[in-house]
Amino acid sequence: MTGWRRFRILSGGKGITTMTMYRRLLDLFRPTGHRLYIVGGHVRDRLLGIPPGDMDLSTDAVPDVVRRLLEETGFSVLDMGVEFGTLTARDRDTGEMIEITTLRTGERYHPGSRHPKVTFGRDLEDDLRRRDFTVNAMALDEEGRLVDPLGGMKDLNARILRTPGEPGVSFREDPLRILRGFRFMASLGFTLEEETFRAAGEHAPGLAFVAGERKQKEMNLLLSAPGERLPAALEAMLEAGVLLELLPELSGLASLRGGLHQPDPWEHTLAVMSRVPPDPLLRWAALFHDAGKGSATAAGSDREPHFQGHEKTGAGLAESAAESMRFSRAWRRSLVFLVMNHMRPALYRSGWSDGAVRRMAASAGENLERLLALAEGNIRSKAPATVPEGLMLLEELRKRLEGLERRKRLLARGTGRALQEALGLSGGRLSEAVARLEDGILEGNLPPEPGLEECIRFLESSGE
């Protein structure tokens, strides 16, 4: 089967709806003489037989013409990305959206700019030649025929990532393509062709000219890849010299790789990352949880390496990386907390009081599940003999947390806000005060749901 017939059979669910919207857009563009193509990753994924991502379209119409055509026929238009020639068509009835990008002949970073300047064109093959990799340089025309001038299908079958032209030129034009290559290694299980791999390392310094938000987006996608593929991609990034150009904060950890310290902290880091869920923030925390070991190494009396204080050092390194990658404030705080406290659940013992368990939960807040998942990944990546006991204690901790969650409320609703207003407490000091009050109730020194004055007297008498 060929053409649209084959493509529709591969579609399912949302894909059929997307195809319907595409046909509506075709009917809109055809009378004007402008062309419209399905391009990029959507085509690649369909050919691989895997669920495709969002459908992206390319056209020979310039953005102003695209906008006019869409608005005149009832589509909403979002112009985030218009500087790159991209507009988003939104169906006002269904809310469905498809990006439409004007064909390009090139894009390049200029001194002082962290975003590329694009040059528009009218020829599909010219546009495909300036794409990142041949497997993404294929298109479907209006009749559903595959357009593959650069051997993308051949590389797809070989599971190889190759740039359409000379890789050094491609990576100079847009250094972000380097990160995309390793992202596709992780998500698709492909390998970088030898010359492309070598050029990625040579041109990695160019990543300094790419906006942090764009680098973070690519890394978040990479870190969301299946756990079994992620270590190989990160190892390849390190081998090529890309990882430390992007995240110099990991240089101390990388310096321990293959050394005398066993288990190898870098190999351990990769193992932890493969064992935690594919939540990008959690994977960032796994990447940095031992980053401080490179500068916190000391030999003990047993001649084995010790890493006292590596949590604090690693948290500082994680914060530095978060700033350079332009994390949101909330993500930055969460990352620093997770790295700083990654060993805390592993310290749990059955003798902990309910108050101690509650304090841990209170300090973690919305990061509690991530903290426990990080701890589990860490435990599972330790020496096999230590894993069963570690998992048993972690499961006990989980059950105690669940039990405490189900118990009757300890403090009256609004107590935290009242303490904040009465005593001027906020942030960590407020959380600590609440935890101390809950401890007092659990230990019988306060009644359940004490009044504000009773809470204040208790905090003052206990040293608050």
At 95-135, the pLDDT tens digits run 889 999 999 875 555 555 545 566 787 889 999 998 999 99
22's enclosing H/E stretch is: helix 14-29
Question: Whole-angstrom Cα distance, residue 25 to residue 75?
Answer: 10
Helix axes of 452-461 and 427-442: crossing angle, nearest 10 degrees: 90
Helix axes of 230-240 and 212-223: crossing angle, nearest 10 degrees: 140
The three-state secondary structure class of 28 is helix
At 218-230, the pLDDT tens digits run 999 999 999 999 9
Rg value, the chain, Cα: 27
Lowest mean pLDDT among 1-15, 35-49, 259-273, 419-433: 1-15
Whole-number pLDDT of residue 356: 87
Question: Whole-angstrom Cα distance, residue 443 to residue 439?
Answer: 6
- When pLDDT is cut at 50, 70 and 90, the band that residue 441 belongs to is confident
* The pLDDT of residue 264 is above 90: no
* The pLDDT of residue 51 is above 50: yes
Phi-psi region of 74 (alpha: psi -120 to 50; beta: other; left: phi over 0): left
> What CATH architecture is 1-158?
2-Layer Sandwich (3.30)
- When pLDDT is cut at 50, 70 and 90, the band that residue 323 belongs to is very high
Q: Where are the domains of the chain?
A: 1-158, 159-246, 274-407, 415-461
Once rounded to an integer, what is the mean pLDDT over residues 255-272?
A: 83
Nearest Cα to Cα of residue 170 among 203, 141, 139, 218: 203
Once rounded to an integer, what is the mean pLDDT over residues 46-58?
A: 91
At 334-366, the pLDDT tens digits run 999 999 999 999 999 999 988 788 888 888 989
Higher pLDDT, 28 or 442: 28
Nearest Cα to Cα of residue 75 among 88, 65, 59: 88
Once rounded to an integer, what is the mean pLDDT over residues 316-320?
A: 97
Question: Whole-angstrom Cα distance, residue 132 to residue 125?
Answer: 14
- Residues pairing with 38 in the sheet: 57, 140
- Asked if residues 284 and 247 have their Cβ atoms less than 8 Å apart, the reply is no
Question: Whole-angstrom Cα distance, residue 133 to residue 162?
Answer: 5
Instruction: Specify the residue for token string 């084995």.
Output: 304
Q: Which CATH number fits domain 159-246: 1.10.110.30, 3.40.50.9100, 3.40.367.20, 3.20.20.70?
A: 1.10.110.30
- Asked if residues 8 and 16 have their Cβ atoms less than 8 Å apart, the reply is yes
- By CB atoms closer than 10 A (0-12, 13-18, 19+), residue 237 is buried
Lowest mean pLDDT among 196-205, 220-229, 297-306, 450-459: 297-306
Whole-number pLDDT of residue 306: 57
Question: Whole-angstrom Cα distance, residue 359 to residue 78?
Answer: 46
Once rounded to an integer, what is the mean pLDDT over residues 150-162?
A: 97
Segment 147-156 long-range contacts (CB within 8 Å, at least 24 positions apart): 147/37, 149/125, 152/44, 153/47, 155/193, 156/44, 156/47, 156/48
255's enclosing H/E stretch is: helix 251-255
Q: Percent of the chain, pLDDT > 90?
A: 64
Sign of the torsion formed by the C-alpha atoms of 31, 35, 36 and 38: positive
Nearest Cα to Cα of residue 291 among 310, 272, 306: 310
Question: Whole-angstrom Cα distance, residue 32 to residue 144?
Answer: 20
Whole-number pLDDT of residue 445: 85
* The pLDDT of residue 44 is above 70: yes
pTM of the model: 0.81
Across the chain, mean pLDDT equals: 88
Question: Whole-angstrom Cα distance, residue 187 to residue 183?
Answer: 6
| HSE-CB of 158 using CA atoms within 13 angstroms | 13
H, E, C per residue of 175-223: CHHHHHHHHHHHHHCCEECHHHHHHHHHCHHHHHHCCHHHHHHHHHHHH
